Chains A and B, each alone.
Chain A
Amino acid sequence: MPLLEAKNVTHYFGGLCAVSDFNLTLEPGELVGVIGPNGAGKTTIFNLITGVYKASQGSIIFNDKELVGKKSNQIIEMGIARTFQNIRLWQDLSVLDNIRIAYFSQTNYGSLEALLHIGRYKAEERRITDQSMDLLKVFNLDGLADENAKNLPYGSQRRLEIARALATNPHLLLLDEPAAGMNPNEINELMDFIRWIRSEFKLTILLIEHQMRLVMGISERLKVLDFGATIAEGLPAEIQNNPKVLEAYLGVGGEE
C-alpha cells in the first residue's frame, strides 16, 4: 500500500493555475526528487500536502486518510514533516526550544497540569527535553542548545531545520531545497546525510532541489514540473537526456 497518493491535484491562486493535474505515488522508504525551473509549482505542492493551502481540486491520501481539507497541525501529527526553502526557524528562541516546540503534539499533559505544574508536567518536560537534546546530539548541535537560533551559522541553521522537522516523528519528510547556498563539499556531505537519516529514522523522502548533483545523485526517481504541469518523470538517467526537460530549463534549442 502506497504511503502517499496524490491524484489529479490542481490548485489555482485566483485566476492563475499554479499546479495542474499533479499525480504522485510514494511507496514507504522511497526517495523521490521534484525538479523544475523557479515558479514551476514545486513548493506549492509541498504547501498543498501539508495543508497550508487547500487544493482546489484533487485528493491527497496519506496512510489511507484524505489530507485535503485538514489543518496543518493535524497533518503533521499524522506523520508528515517539512523544511522550508528560506529557513523558518524561530529566530529569537533558543536552539533547544526550537526542537522542544516541535514536540508539541507529543508532549502529554493538559492545560490544568501546565498552569499549576502538577501531574504529568514534570515528567513530560524532562522526557521531552532529554529527547530534544538527544536529537540535537545526533546533529552535533547539542553544544549550541542554549544559543538563539538567529546566532547560528547558516549551515547549522539548515541542520537545525532538518532536526526540528524530524522531532515531529514523521514517516514522510518533505525537504525544500536543503542544499541552497552550499558548496560541492557540503553537498557531498548532505547527500550522505540524507541517505543516513532515511535509514536511521525510517523515512520516505520527497525532495525539491535545484542542485542537480544532489538530486541526480540520491533520487531513485524524479518528477519534473514546469508552469504547474508535470512534463516528465522517471529515472534520473532518463530525465537527464529528456529534451522537454532541457527545454524547460534552458529554453528552446538549449539541448545543442
Chain B
Amino acid sequence: MTYFLQQVLNAAQLGSIYALIALGYTMVYGILTMINFAHGDLFMVGAFFCFLAATFLKLPFVPTLLVSMVGVALLGVLIERVAYKPLRTAPRVSAIITALGVGLFLENFTLVFSPYPQSVPTLIKNVTWTFGGLSISSLQIIIIVISILMMIMLDFIVQRTKVGMAMRAISWDKASVPLMGVPVNLIISATFALGTGLGASAGVMYALAFPVIDPYMGILIGWKAFIAAVVGGIGNIRGAMIGAFILAILEIMVAAYISSTYRDFIAFALLLLLLIFRPYGILGKPRAQKV
C-alpha cells in the first residue's frame, strides 16, 4: 500500500510538470489553432535560464523562477511576432514546420554554448519525511504546490479577467473579435507570454527535481505533454491538466508495476486506445463541421 502511495506521489509530481507544459500547448492551440512544436524547447530554455540565474547571478529560488518565467515569456512573444505571425494565413503545415525549425534552432543554439550537460545548483534544501514506509520529500511538495498555484493563477486569469475573456473569445471565433475593438495581436502575445512562461516554470521545477540538464531534454517531454494536451482535448485548459495527470499516472504505474523499459510504449499505446474511442479527447468537442 505504501508503495502504491509512493507512486501516486511521484505521479503527482510528474503530472504537475507535464500539466504546466501541456497548458502552454493547449492555450496556443486554442487561440491560434497552431501546434507550437517549439514549446518543449522553451521548457528547456526555462531550465537553462534557471541554471544561468542560479549559477552566475547566484539568485535564490523565487527570483530564479521569476527570471526564468519572464525571460522565456519575452522570448516566446518574440518568436511569435517574428516567426509565427507572418504565417497566420499560410497553410497550417507551414506553421508547424516553422515551429519545428524554431525548436531545432533553440536546441542547437543552446548546444553551442553548452556542449555538455550542466548541473543546476541546489536552490531548495530537500528534507525528507518518512511515514511508515512512505517517504515524502519537501521538494516534491514544493513542486506540486507551486504547480497547483500556477494552474490556479492561470484559471483565474482566463476565467476572471478581461484579457482571459478576450482569449476565450478569440479561440471561439477569431474573425469577429477584432470587430469588437479587441486588440487581437496584443491578446495573442499575452497568450504566448502566459503559455511559455508556464512552460518555463515547468523547466525550473524539472531542474529542481532532476538537476542535470541538457539541450535535448525538451524533445521527448514536449511530445509527451503535447499528447497529454490532445488526450485531454486540445484547446481545453482543464482538459490539458487532466490529460497530463493521466499520462503521468500511466507512466509511473507501468514503470512501477510492469516494467520500466516498456513504460513509454505502454503509456502511448493506452493513450492511442483512448483516442480511438474518444477521438476528440476527454473534454474536447469536435469543431462542429456543418455538412
Enumerate chain A interface residues (CB-CB to B < 8 A): 43, 47, 52, 84, 86
Q: Chain B residues near A52 (CB, 8 Å)?
A: 291
Q: Chain A residues near B290 (CB, 8 Å)?
A: 86
Q: Chain B residues near A84 (CB, 8 Å)?
A: 291
B287 to chain A, nearest CB (A): 15
A and B contact pairs by CB, cutoff 8 A, 5 listed: A43-B291, A47-B291, A52-B291, A84-B291, A86-B290
Enumerate chain B interface residues (CB-CB to A < 8 A): 290-291
Q: Is the interface of B mostly helix, strand, loop or mixed?
A: loop
B77 to chain A, nearest CB (A): 34
The complex places the Cα of A84 from the Cα of B289 at a distance, in Å, of 13
The complex places the Cα of A43 from the Cα of B291 at a distance, in Å, of 8
Q: Chain B residues near A47 (CB, 8 Å)?
A: 291
Q: Chain B residues near A86 (CB, 8 Å)?
A: 290
The complex places the Cα of A84 from the Cα of B291 at a distance, in Å, of 8
The complex places the Cα of A52 from the Cα of B291 at a distance, in Å, of 8
The complex places the Cα of A148 from the Cα of B290 at a distance, in Å, of 24
A129 to chain B, nearest CB (A): 29
Chain B residue with minimal CB distance to A52? B291
A14 to chain B, nearest CB (A): 11
The complex places the Cα of A47 from the Cα of B291 at a distance, in Å, of 8
A92 to chain B, nearest CB (A): 10
Chain B residue with minimal CB distance to A176? B291
The complex places the Cα of A47 from the Cα of B290 at a distance, in Å, of 10
The complex places the Cα of A68 from the Cα of B291 at a distance, in Å, of 18
The complex places the Cα of A86 from the Cα of B291 at a distance, in Å, of 8
B246 to chain A, nearest CB (A): 25
List the 3 shortest-distance A-B pairs measured between CB atoms, nearest first.
Answer: A52-B291, A47-B291, A43-B291
Q: Chain A residues near B291 (CB, 8 Å)?
A: 43, 47, 52, 84
Q: Chain B residues near A43 (CB, 8 Å)?
A: 291
The complex places the Cα of A39 from the Cα of B290 at a distance, in Å, of 12
A7 to chain B, nearest CB (A): 23
A208 to chain B, nearest CB (A): 13
The complex places the Cα of A160 from the Cα of B291 at a distance, in Å, of 18
The complex places the Cα of A52 from the Cα of B290 at a distance, in Å, of 11
B175 to chain A, nearest CB (A): 16
A101 to chain B, nearest CB (A): 18
B212 to chain A, nearest CB (A): 49
Chain B residue with minimal CB distance to A47? B291
B133 to chain A, nearest CB (A): 48
The complex places the Cα of A86 from the Cα of B290 at a distance, in Å, of 9
The complex places the Cα of A86 from the Cα of B289 at a distance, in Å, of 12
A80 to chain B, nearest CB (A): 15
A83 to chain B, nearest CB (A): 12
A176 to chain B, nearest CB (A): 10
A147 to chain B, nearest CB (A): 21
A164 to chain B, nearest CB (A): 16
B92 to chain A, nearest CB (A): 14
A144 to chain B, nearest CB (A): 25
A46 to chain B, nearest CB (A): 9
The complex places the Cα of A84 from the Cα of B290 at a distance, in Å, of 10
B290 to chain A, nearest CB (A): 8
The complex places the Cα of A191 from the Cα of B143 at a distance, in Å, of 71
B288 to chain A, nearest CB (A): 10
The complex places the Cα of A75 from the Cα of B212 at a distance, in Å, of 60
A18 to chain B, nearest CB (A): 12
B192 to chain A, nearest CB (A): 31
A70 to chain B, nearest CB (A): 17
